[in-house]
Amino acid sequence: MWIHRPVLVRTLRLRHFSQHAAATVLQYPEAPLINLDDLPKPDPKHAETIRAIPRAASGKTITAKERKADRVPSIVFEQEDGQHGGNKRLISVQTNQIRRLVTGLGRSFFLSRLFDLEVRPEFESQDVIEKVRVLPRQLHRHAGTDALLNVTFIRAPSNALLKVDVPLVFRGEDISPGLKKGAYFNVIKRTVKFLCPADVIPPYIDVDLSELDVGQRLTMGDLKVHPDLKLVLPKEHPVCKIMGIRVSDQQKKSK
């Protein structure tokens, strides 16, 4: 029996995805962790479901065709041991949607936010093959054109522990005693890596500079985060410092 090629390709693609997913589905218990009131929470206005379609195979030729069709070749990894991914699922997502999310949030904020991801036979289909919560793990762009090349997602069930580079948001520069004296602000880290329970991944961490004087610094251990987050690096590592007045500035003042 002759089958129209697009229908055949779609059928094989769905069969590949469904069989692969069924072999590795795990049941995850709910965790009781919640975001604390005095810590940053994900902004609801950026809550969005990412739509995806299954992809039967990888390779340069296939990924090139996906990008030409305004789709970004992507992978979803199964969360296994709390830190590393495995059991990859090949999907494609819409270029325009990912570009809009990255532009609206910023790259580092996109990579620290959870999203619902729906896999459908086609983007406009009402049928949902699978719906899963994911964390964007990696985002690759072309060095010359900045075009999106691929995105890696990792499953984020409630009991998952995920390594996340959480962005830092610095506040209080206008009232910092050291900066008022003419010192300058030295940013050492713009993100800090934490091992985070999936339910309480912070969208960012507020860093208060309002009481820092000349020569003082803040370390990773000074950051105010949920008590269930664990630093990957030692807490003594600095994130920022108020440095002394530059020699050139001192010379200007003495003239």
Last residue of a domain, one of 116, 138, 157: 157
Type of residue at 81: D
Give the predicted TM-score (pTM) of the model.
Answer: 0.79
- One digit per residue, the tens of pLDDT, for the chain of length 255 reads 444 444 444 444 444 444 333 333 333 445 567 778 788 888 888 899 999 999 988 888 888 999 999 999 999 987 654 445 556 889 999 999 999 999 999 999 999 999 999 999 999 999 999 999 999 999 999 999 889 999 999 999 888 889 999 999 999 999 999 999 999 999 999 999 999 999 999 999 999 999 999 999 999 999 999 999 999 999 999 999 999 876 555 555 555
| Structural domain includes residue 118 | yes
Check which CATH number belongs to the domain holding 215 and give it. 2.170.120.20
- Residue ending a domain, choose from 133, 157, 181: 157
Do residue 168 and residue 152 come from a single domain?
no
Q: Which domain holds residue 143?
A: 5-20+49-157
Together in a domain, 224 and 105: no
Mapped onto helix, strand or coil, the DSSP state of residue 230 is strand
- The answer on 169 and 94 residing in a single domain is no
